[in-house]
Amino acid sequence: MVAMNMVQALNSALDVKLEDDPDILTFGEDVGYFGGVFRVTDKLQEKYGLTRCFDTPISEGGIVATAIGMGAYGLRPVVEIQFADYILPAFDQLVSEAARLRYRSNGEFWAPITVRVPYGGGIFGGQTHSQSPEALFAHVVGLKSVIPSNPYDAKGLLISAIEDDDPVIFFEPKRLYNGLFEGRPDDPVKPWKDHPLADVPEDVYRIPLGKARMVREGADVTVLAYGTMVHVALSAIEECGIDAELIDLRSIVPLDIDAIVESVQRTGRCVIAHEASRYGGFGGELSALVQERCFHHLRAPIERVAGWDTPYPHAFEWDYFPGPQRVIDAMQRTQEV
């Protein structure tokens, strides 16, 4: 075990898989020689050579298209889109091709690709370095979407994603890359090294896709979160003293529906928290699922804490970002009914 931040854990996942399987290669913009703008692919080209880890033209559609072709051939490409905000030029490739290739060819062809995308706000990234587009992909049948919230999960989930035979979009909360963030911009950044989930094994281990993590058990309300919002929610729970149960979904597709239903049926209350804007966000799907499956157990309306229905702004970073106080308010509303 070594203390790793999320960048190092992701780098380690790529390192062990590149070592393990010659069919794995990784590419993207600035991924090769430079090691990635966030250092996730640092030193991989040096260690594994030019053809295992290389730079691409600035062409998200081209990156994903060639990855799909390689995947159909029999390789397992892991590609990077520099920011989730820039995944949209590859949207047709992901929706019309990667997601449907197995289905439409009756299993003759498939694309075991992993698409790594730094996502999320809280970094003064403005409109095109902050977005959380996971709901766009949740609506696409045939794609899996994974979102880690800590270094240990990041490595274990990325290894599972790479080994998975279906296309996986791997959203990396860039706000959590180098340290813990609880949604309190005035607090000093907490380094990962003091966190128990920063103890990361150096060799291969896996965290299954579709399995949520119980972050904190509680009796009064179930809080569903993923990515950075897991830490925001935990901090909110600790501050307000409500005995909330916090579940880190870890993957959006496949979703650990059993863990969600089991918890809400026990607590009778549910708060959903995500950074993405609210209308049409993944919280809507979660809310509908909880309502359908826990209706007779619910003792309060389901609450959604989300980004506002505006583009992600620059100057209003902390007015926009759903910080701990908004999570506290929502939890309290569920207790008042």
Tell me the window of 11-19, 74-82, 297-305, 328-336 that interacts with another protein (CB under 8 A): 74-82
- Candidate list 36, 133, 148, 210; residue touching another protein; CB under 8 A: 210
- The yes or no reply on residue 74 touching another protein (CB under 8 A) is yes
Question: Measured between alpha carbons, how far is 24 from 159 in angstroms, rounded to an integer?
Answer: 11
- Candidate list 3, 30, 88, 109; residue touching another protein; CB under 8 A: 109
- The structure tokens 């992701």 sit at 10
* Residue 297: active-site member: no
- Candidate list 59, 127, 128, 310; residue touching another protein; CB under 8 A: 59
Measuring CA to CA, which residue among 136, 62, 57 is closest to residue 93? 62
Count of H helices and E strands in the chain?
12, 16
DSSP labels, 285-308: HHHHHHHHHHGGG--S--EEEEE-
- The yes or no reply on residue 33 touching another protein (CB under 8 A) is no
| Closest approach of another protein to the CB of residue 248, in Å | 19
Nearer to another protein, 293 or 297 (CB): 293
Measuring CA to CA, which residue among 90, 82, 87, 78 is closest to residue 52? 78
Nearer to another protein, 9 or 159 (CB): 159
Binding to another protein in span 254-273, by CB under 8 A: 254-255, 257
Q: Find residue 2's DSSP bridge partners.
A: 200
Q: Phi, psi at residue 111, to the nearest 5°?
A: -125, 90
DSSP labels, 74-139: T-EEEEE-S-GGG-GGGHHIIIIIITTHHHHTTTS-----EEEEEE--SSS-GGGSS---HHHHHT
Count of residues binding another protein (CB under 8 A)? 46
| Closest approach of another protein to the CB of residue 163, in Å | 12
Q: Phi, psi at residue 2, to the nearest 5°?
A: -135, 145
- Candidate list 3, 65, 123, 300; residue touching another protein; CB under 8 A: 65
Question: Measured between alpha carbons, how far is 151 from 176 in angstroms, rounded to an integer?
Answer: 9
Nearer to another protein, 140 or 198 (CB): 140
Tell me the window of 54-62, 182-190, 193-201, 312-320 that interacts with another protein (CB under 8 A): 54-62
Over the window 144 to 173, marking each residue x when it contacts another protein by CB under 8 A and - when it does not, the resulting string is x--------------------xx-------
Tell me the window of 107-115, 152-160, 176-184, 300-308 that interacts with another protein (CB under 8 A): 107-115
**Three-class SS state of 218:** coil
Tell me the pairing of strands 244-248 and 251-253. unpaired
Which residues contribute to the site for another protein (CB under 8 A)?
25, 51, 56-57, 59, 61-62, 64-75, 77, 89, 92-93, 96-97, 100-110, 141-142, 144, 165-166, 210, 253-255, 257
Q: Which residues form the catalytic set?
A: 129
